[in-house]
Amino acid sequence: MARYLPTLTTITAMTFAVIALPAYAAGPFDGNWVIDAPGVGGAIGAEGEYMCPALRLPFQVSDGQVIGDLHRTATGTIEAGKTSNSAPVTGSVSPDGSVNVTWQNFHATGKLSGASGTVGWAGECGPRTATASKVGG
């Protein structure tokens, strides 16, 4: 029986070590989000002035990191999803809710509070401000 004692002691010690490890706790902003930006006019293209369409862009926050993929469609609108021509959305959300996000040559900043927030960026149509909303629980 003494032969099994070291094994039992080792298993018991490992069990207590695992129990003592801190559990992962989701950050206050972790989860699925959407950005809703209204359409705006003012962009000048080859055919003159045109309207920049409204956008609804989903993204995810995990452990303070922004995760997502966006791509331009053949009509020029921006959609979410992983395709052969998509580009990653990268960024972070600070514990105070400050957001910094980059997609291609666009840089957006904003502030989240609870399950909502605002995000702004400058694009073809000038400065745009959008609302951010947490989706689900």
What is the value of pTM for the model shown?
A: 0.72
Residue 126's pLDDT is 81
Q: Pairing mode, if any, of strands 87-93 and 48-52?
A: unpaired
The Cα 49–Cα 56 span in angstroms is 22
Is the domain covering 24-135 a CATH 2.60.120 domain? no
- For the beta carbon of residue 118, count every other beta carbon within 10 angstroms: 15
What pLDDT sits at residue 24? 44
β-bridge partners, 108? 101
Per-residue pLDDT at 40:
83
Which tokens in the block code for residue 73? 């469609």
Domain coordinates in residue numbering, the chain: 24-135
* pLDDT attached to residue 99: 96
pLDDT (0 to 100) of residue 84: 84
User: Can you tell me whether residue 84 is helix, strand or coil?
Assistant: coil
pLDDT of the chain along its 137 residues, tens only? 555 444 444 444 444 433 444 444 568 899 999 999 998 876 666 666 667 788 888 899 999 999 999 888 887 778 888 888 889 999 999 999 999 999 888 899 999 999 999 999 988 778 889 999 999 86
The count of other CB atoms within 10 Å of the CB of residue 75 is 6
Angstrom distance (rounded) from CA 19 to CA 128: 49
Q: Whole-angstrom Cα distance, residue 28 to residue 93?
A: 10
- Tabulate helix, strand, coil % of the chain (nearest 5): 15, 55, 30
